[in-house]
Structure 1
Amino acid sequence: MSRSLVTWSGSEVTLHFAIGGNLPVSLLSLRPAGSPYTPPAELDGAPLVEVQALGHGRSPGSHRYAGTVTGSRLRYARHTTARKEAEAADELRVEQSDPVTGLMVTSVFQASDGVPAVRTWTEVRAEPDDPGEPARTLRLQAVTSLVTGAFLDDAGCRPEELDLLHGDSDWAAESRWHRIPLRGAGPADRDPALHPHAPRGRFALTSRSSWSTGEHLPTGALLARDGSWALSWQIEHNGAWHWEVGERKRGAYLALLGPTDAEHQWSRTVTAQRGFSTVPVSLAVAAGGLDEALGALTRQRRALHRGRPGAGLPVVFHDWGSTRGEDPTAARLRPLVDAAARAGADCFCLDAGWCDEDGRWWDIVEEWQPSRSRFPAGLEEVVDRIRGHGMVPGIRLEPEAVGVRSPVARRLPDEAFFLRDGQRVVEHGRYHLDLRHPRARGHLNEVIDRLVTDLDIGCFTFDYGIMPGPGTDRDGAAPGDGLLAHNRAHLAWLDTLLSRYPDLLVENRASGAMRMDYAMLSRLHLQSVSNQRNPLFCPPIVAAAPASVLPEQAGNRASPRPGTDTEETTFTLAGGILGRLCLSGPLDGMTPGQTELIREAVTVHKQLRSWIARSLPLWPLGLAGPSTPWVVQGLRSPEARGDCALTVWRRPGAPAELEVPVAHLRGAAAEPQILFPAKAGPWDLRWDAGGGVLRIAVPADGPVAAARVIRLSPS
C-alpha cells in the first residue's frame, strides 16, 4: 500500500500527515492556514509517536527518543474530526495500532479559533488479541506527546540553515535564552555514505522533579536563519519533562515528552482498562522570525487561559522585603497598608511570617493560623484596614509544604505525604503533601475555606520552595509516576478551588519562577517572574519573561527604596509598566517625590492594562545572548502596523547612543512619546521611518542607570 496525504485545518493552522505504506503516521507539515504546500516526492517523515517499552527497546540503541521498536511498528487505523464548541476549537484524533503488543495509540490535536497553533497529546492503551481473551499488559518507559520533522519541510531548509532557541533558568537568574545553530547543537555533520545508520546524537533539555522551570525552560523554537519561517513550542506540565532535537537517516526531528524512565524514574503498566495520557504540548507556527514565533505562542497561551481574566488585572502590593525581612507585625503593616493604598494598589498581600510565633516559621508551616504575638488584636484588624482602603486582602501560602515541626505533620497519616521505601521524603526541613490523598486535599481545603470565610481573603500567593526528588513510590508506583499523579491531582485541586471561589485571584510564585509553565498558568492569574532583588540585574529577566508567560500575567515586582533619586526610582518602576505591575518595598518611607513617581507608574500601567492584554511581545535587540548594558523589550498591537511601546533600560557601561529597530513600523510616520516618567530627564528620541529605527541619545554624563517607557504610534 502506498503512502497518502491527510490534510486537517483549524481556523489559522494546517497540518499534513503521511499515512499508510506499511509505515507509522508522520506529521510532515505544520503551517499557517492558507500557506501553499507541495508534498515531498516521498512521504517519509519521523514517526508521529515514539514508545519506549520494556522488552522492546530501540534500534539502534541510543539515549534518544527516536528509533523505538514499538513506535516503528505503529500503523494507521483511522482518524476522526470533531468540533469542540465549549473550547472554541477543532479536534483531530489519529489512531494507530501495534499488532505485536496490541497497543492502541491515539494522537489528539486541538486548534483554537484564531490561533496559528495546535495543542496535542498521546493516549495509550493495550488491547487483547481477540474479544474474550485476557487483556495484554505493557510496561511503558517513555511515550512522546509529539514527534515531528515538519520544520524541515515547511522551512525548505536543511539543519545547516536552522537555529535552535532554548532557555535556562535559576533562582534569581531566570529566563536566560540562547540561540545556536542547529547543526552542531546535537545533530552533527557526518558522511552518510560511510555511516548509513541513523545518528545517535541529540540536543536535549530535561527538567527534573517538580520545579518545571528550575533549570531549563519548557519552551523552545526552531528558526529559519533567513527569517522566513519558525516553529515554537511549550510543554504544559507542572513537573518533570524532556525535549530533544536529533537527526534520523533522512531529516531531523523534534520530540516532546513528559517524564521518562531514564531521566525521571517514570514507568507505567497499561492495559485495556488502565490507559495512559501524556502531558499536553503546544506548537505554534509563523511565517517570520523570533518575534513572530513567540507572538504565535502568545496567542496560544491566551486561548489556554481564556475565561480566567483575574478580576481586571489588579495591581498587587506584596509586603515581602518591606517589613524588615519576614517579620510583619500589625504596627509595621498599618502605615504600609495606607501607603500602598495611596500608591494605587488594588490588592495588599501579606507575605512570609504572618503565621510565625517564634521566629522559626520555615519548618513549622502548614497550620496557617495568624500569629497572636504579631497581631494582638487579631489579623482581622489589618484585613479590615486593607478593605477600608478599597483594596483586596491577600496572603501567602505554600500549599504543598508541611514543616517537620508542624502539628499537621503529626496529624496527617504517612500516606498523605511523599514516601520512598515507606519513609517520608524530607527536603529543607519540610515534608511534601501528596495531593492524591483525600486527607491532604481535605487539609488544604480547610485552610483555604477558613481564610476566605473567616478573614475575607480574596487573593492568594502560592509559593513553592522545595522539591521532593524523583517522586513517591506509595502503592508500588515508580517514583516518577507517583510524582506525575500528584502533579495532576494538584491541577485538579486548583480547578476545584477556582470553581468554588471564581472571584479569587491566585498568583503563582514558586520561589520566583521555578514552576512557570502553562499547566499552572492556564489556570492561575499571575506569575512572579523572578526573585531577583538587585535592580541592575532585573532588566534582562523582566525583558525575557514574555517569551515564557503572557505579558498580562508577568508579575514584575517593583521595589523602590527610600533615599534613591528620581532616575533610580524610575529604573526600578519602569519594568512593571508593560507587564503586570506588582509593588513592594517600604512605601511608607518614601519622599513626596518618590510617592508621586510611584503613583504615576501605577496610573500609566492601569491606563495600558487592556492594551497589554491583547498585545504581542517583541525584542528589538534580540532575546538571546549575553546580557548587554542596553536592554529593550516591547509590546505591539496585533495589527500589522499597530501601536508599539518599549521599555528601555540603560545600565552601567552603556554608550550614550542607541539604535532600536522596530521592523513592523518601517516606512510609517510616527512620533515617539515618553509615557513614563512624565518629567523625564533629557533623552533625545528620533524616529527614522525609512529605516524603521528609533534613535536614542542620552547625555554622556547622565546617570549610569536610567529607564524610560516609550510609545510609538503610527500616524
Structure 2
Amino acid sequence: MMIDIEENGLYLKIEVTAEGDARLLHFGARPLVEADIAEEQKPGFRLLELQLTGEDRAEYHGRTHRATYPGLRMVYEGMNDSRNEQGRKLELLLADPVTGLQADLHIQFYNGVKTVRCWTVLRNEGSEAAEVEYVSSFALTGIEKEGTLDRDEKMSVYIPHNGWQSELQWRSYTLPELGMSHMKDRGSKRISCSNTGSWSAAEHIPMAVLTNTETATSLFWQIEHSGSWHWEIIDQYDHLTLLVSGPTEHDNHWWKRLMPGEQFVSVPVAVGVAEGGFEKAIGELTSYRRRIRRPNDDNRLLRIIFNDYMNCLWGSPTTAKLLPLIDAAAEVGSEYFCIDAGWYAPGEWWDGVGEWLPSSERFPEGIKYVLDYIRSKGMIPGLWLELEVMGIRSPKLAETDDSWFFKRHGKRVVDRSRYQLDYRNPKVIAHADEVIRRLVEDYGVGYIKMDYNINAGIGTETDADSVGDGLLAHNRAYLAWLDRIFARYPELVIENCSSGGMRMDYAMLSRHSIQSTSDQEDYVKYAGIAASSPAALTPEQSAIWSYPLREGDDEEVIFNMVNALLLRIHQSGHLAELSPRRLALVKEALDYYKTIRADIPEALPFWPLGLPKQQDDWISFGLRAGNRVYVAVWRLAGGEKEVRLPLSAFKGKEASSQRCAYPADTRGTSSQWNAEAGTLVVRLPEPRTARLFELDF
C-alpha cells in the first residue's frame, strides 16, 4: 500500500508492505522520483527509531541510533487523517507485537507553510514495563537522493554555533569537511549536534539547514525544547538518514520506564522544505515560527525598550542613578524602562537572590517611587528577575527544603553559587506565582526581563527514572507555569534571557515575544550577532542591545543604532551623559524605527554577502517587506571602501526610490543601485562605520 500526501507544497510518500512495515520514502519540496530509491534500499527508510533496554541491535551501528529494536519490529496499524484550526493532521499508528508497545507518530501541517511539527507518543499496552533508551520525533532517510551528483559534492549543512557573548556563529560545511565522506553504503560515523543541560543553546541553537546545491532545494529542522536534545545525520543503505529527537540515554543521560498503561510524549520538532537555498529555508521557517507563536500585541507593536544594564549601571541601580536615565530614555522616545539586576539587594547580590524584595538602601523612598516616575514619563516600567534559581545565601532558603531543588547523588545541585529550583514542586510554583503577582499587581510592572544564568547540568534524580527524565519533566513543568502566567496576565511582556542567548529555542519563543540575543559588550562584535539572528528567530523577537558609550564619537552611536534598527531595540548606555549631538543621533534612530517597525513582523530576512563571520571586513543583512527593502551595512575593518551587495531578487528592476535612511546626514557615504547587475554599491569611507538603506521597487 502506498500513502501519498500533498499539502502546502510538501510531498510525502509512505509505503506499507504486506508484512506491515511502514516506510517514509519521501518528504520533499517536489514529488518523489521513484528511480531515486532501489527496492533493496527501502528497508532503511524507517518511520521511527525506538530502542528499549534489553533489546538487540540489528547490525554494526557505532554511536548512531539506527537499527533499533523494537523500532525494526513495529507494525503499521492504521492512520488518522483529520484537520484542525492549524491545518491537516496525520497520526500514523504503529505497534510492537512482542512487547505491546504502541507508537503514534503525529504530523501537524500548518496552512500555507512548508513546515510540519512532529512528535511521537509511546503507549505501553503490554503487561510488562517498557524501558526506553531512544525514541525519534522525526526520522527521514534519503535526504540526499535528489539529483545525480554524489552527496560529497552537492550537500551542505548549516550549523548555528553558539556561546556566551559569541552567539549565532553560523557555518556551512560539506559532509567531507565534517569527516563523513561517501566511502561505503553504511558506516558508524555520524554528523551530530547534541545539548545536555538546562541551557538549550549552550553550544548550538537547536536547529540546522541541509541544502542540495544541485537541485536547489533545502531541508531544515528545529527542536522545540528548552533542555537536552539531539540530532544526527548518518549513512545506511547507501543513503543519508536524519534522526531528530529530544534527550537520549547515550547522549543526554535520559532513560524512561513506562509501566503498563503509561505513555510518554517525545519532544516536538519542526521539519520543513524549501525550493531554494539557505535564505529560502529561513524564510519558510520564519513564517512557521510566526504561526506557532502565542498571539500577543508585543510582536505587533514592537515598543522600544530601555534597559539600564549594558554598558550602563551594570546591575547596580539606585534612585539617584535612575532618575536622570529615565528622563533621558523618555526624551529619546523609549516606551519601556526596565530596571535590570540589583534592585533587590544593597550590595553584592549574586549568591543571595531568591526573595525578590526591593532594597531600601538602593531605593530609600521605595521602588514604587521609581516605577511611578517611569510611568509619569509615559513609559511602562519593568524589572529584572531570575526566578528559576535561589542563591546559596538567600534568606528565602529558611522557608525551603531539599524538595525545592535539583539533586544528584543525594546532594543539591549547585552552579555558580545558586541552586536550581524544581518547577514540578507545587511549593516552588506558589513561590514563583507570588513573585509575579507582587511585581504586576502591587508594583505595576508591565515588563519582566527573565534571566537564567546557570546551567543545571544533566538533570535531577528526584522522582525520576533518570536524571535526564527529571530534567525533561522540570522543563515541561516550567513551560506549563509560563503558560499559566501569560493566561493570567496577557498584557505582560516577559523577555527570554539566559546570559544572553543560551536558551534560544522555540519551546521558549513560542511563548515569549522577545529574546535577549547576547551579553556581548563590544558593539562592533555585536554587529555579526545581530545580523545573524533572524536565521534563528523572527526579526521582531530578536532583542539587540544598542549602547552608545560615554567616550564614543558620532560614528560609534550610528553603528550601535544600526545594529538594532531592523530588529527589536534594547536601548541602553549613559544617555544622560551623551553630548546633545550624539543624543540627537539616538533620537533620530528611534524616531525612524517607529516609522518602519510595522513592516518588521511581516518581513523576511536576507544576507547579501552571506551569513556573517566575525572575521569579515564587511557584513550586511536586510529585510524584504513587499516591494520595500531595508539593507543594513557594516564596514568592520580592511582597506576596501566600497562593497557590492547582490540583491538578486530585484535584478533587472529599477528602484523607484533609494536612500540612506539612517543617518539622514550621510557623512561621506554613497550608494548606487545597478539594476542590470542587481547590486547595491555602497561606499563607507572609514572602518567601524554602519548605515541603513531603503529601496523601493
Return the TM-score normalized by structure 2.
Answer: 0.96
Inter-CA distance 321–698: structure 2 relative to 1 (3 Å threshold): closer
Q: Does 1:29 align with 2:14?
A: no
Letter in 2 for 1:496: R
Q: Does 1:48 align with 2:31?
A: no
* Paired residue secondary structure (1:354): coil
* 1:449-528 correspondence runs (5 A): 449-528=437-516
* 1:278-289 correspondence runs (5 A): 278-289=266-277
Tell me, in whole angstroms, the C-alpha distance in 1 between the residues paired with 2:254 and 2:612: 33
Tell me, in whole angstroms, the C-alpha distance in 2 between the residues paired with 1:184 and 1:331: 56
Q: 1:552-601 deviations in whole A, cap 9, x for unaligned?
A: 00001100112422211101110101001110111111111111111111
Tell me, in whole angstroms, the C-alpha distance in 2 between the residues paired with 1:354 and 1:654: 46
Q: Does 1:177 align with 2:167?
A: no
Letter in 2 for 1:75: V
Conservation of the 8 A alpha-carbon contact between 1:25 and 1:75: yes
Tell me, in whole angstroms, the C-alpha distance in 2 between the residues paired with 1:525 and 1:442: 24
Conservation of the 8 A alpha-carbon contact between 2:4 and 2:11: yes
Aligned partner of 1:684 among 670, 674, 688: 670
Identity of aligned residues (%): 36
Q: 1:489-510 deviations in whole A, cap 9, x for unaligned?
A: 0100000000000000010011
Q: 1:152-187 deviations in whole A, cap 9, x for unaligned?
A: 245666422111111211100001111111245253
Per-residue deviation at 1:643? 2.0
Report the equivalent of 1:131: none
Letter in 1 for 2:128: R
Tell me, in whole angstroms, the C-alpha distance in 1 between the residues paired with 2:443 and 2:250: 47
Conservation of the 8 A alpha-carbon contact between 1:323 and 1:332: no
Letter in 2 for 1:83: R
Report the equivalent of 1:95: 93
Tell me, in whole angstroms, the C-alpha distance in 2 between the residues paired with 1:608 and 1:229: 32
Conservation of the 8 A alpha-carbon contact between 1:308 and 1:523: no
Per-residue deviation at 1:654? 4.8
Tell me, in whole angstroms, the C-alpha distance in 1 between the residues paired with 2:406 and 2:434: 20
Q: Does 1:708 align with 2:691?
A: yes
Report the equivalent of 2:132: 140
Inter-CA distance 184–577: structure 2 relative to 1 (3 Å threshold): closer
Aligned partner of 1:362 among 342, 346, 350: 350
Tell me, in whole angstroms, the C-alpha distance in 1 between the residues paired with 2:398 and 2:363: 26
Q: 1:530-550 deviations in whole A, cap 9, x for unaligned?
A: 110111111111111111111
Report the equivalent of 1:622: 610
Q: Does 1:645 align with 2:645?
A: no
What are the ranges of 5 or more consecutive residues in structure 2 without an aligned counterpart?
A: none
* 1:151-300 correspondence runs (5 A): 151-154=143-146, 158-160=150-152, 161-192=154-185, 198-226=186-214, 228-300=216-288
Report the equivalent of 1:14: 11
Conservation of the 8 A alpha-carbon contact between 2:201 and 2:501: yes
Q: Does 1:664 align with 2:649?
A: yes
* 1:70-149 correspondence runs (5 A): 70-85=70-85, 88-128=86-126, 135-149=127-141
Aligned partner of 2:682 among 683, 692, 696: 696
Conservation of the 8 A alpha-carbon contact between 2:151 and 2:182: no
Report the equivalent of 1:340: 329
Q: Does 1:601 align with 2:589?
A: yes
Aligned residues: 689
Letter in 2 for 1:652: A
Letter in 1 for 2:94: Q
Letter in 1 for 2:10: V
Report the equivalent of 2:659: 673
Q: Does 1:592 align with 2:580?
A: yes
Inter-CA distance 57–333: structure 2 relative to 1 (3 Å threshold): farther
Report the equivalent of 2:404: 416
Letter in 2 for 1:273: G
Conservation of the 8 A alpha-carbon contact between 2:122 and 2:265: yes
Letter in 1 for 2:93: E
Aligned partner of 2:420 among 408, 425, 432: 432
Q: 1:306-363 deviations in whole A, cap 9, x for unaligned?
A: 5134272211110003554221100110010111111111100010110012x22111
Inter-CA distance 454–282: structure 2 relative to 1 (3 Å threshold): same
Conservation of the 8 A alpha-carbon contact between 1:174 and 1:541: yes
What are the ranges of 5 or more consecutive residues in structure 1 without an aligned counterpart?
A: 129-134, 193-197
Report the equivalent of 1:195: none
Return the TM-score normalized by structure 1.
Answer: 0.94
Conservation of the 8 A alpha-carbon contact between 1:257 and 1:279: yes
Inter-CA distance 332–184: structure 2 relative to 1 (3 Å threshold): closer
Tell me, in whole angstroms, the C-alpha distance in 1 between the residues paired with 2:439 and 2:107: 40
Tell me, in whole angstroms, the C-alpha distance in 2 between the residues paired with 1:276 and 1:101: 16
Of stretches 270-279 and 165-174 in structure 1, the one that deviates more from structure 2 is 270-279
Of stretches 648-657 and 341-350 in structure 1, the one that deviates more from structure 2 is 648-657
Conservation of the 8 A alpha-carbon contact between 1:284 and 1:300: no
Report the equivalent of 1:39: 34
Tell me, in whole angstroms, the C-alpha distance in 1 between the residues paired with 2:78 and 2:416: 51
Per-residue deviation at 1:686? 1.4
Tell me, in whole angstroms, the C-alpha distance in 2 between the residues paired with 1:534 and 1:322: 9
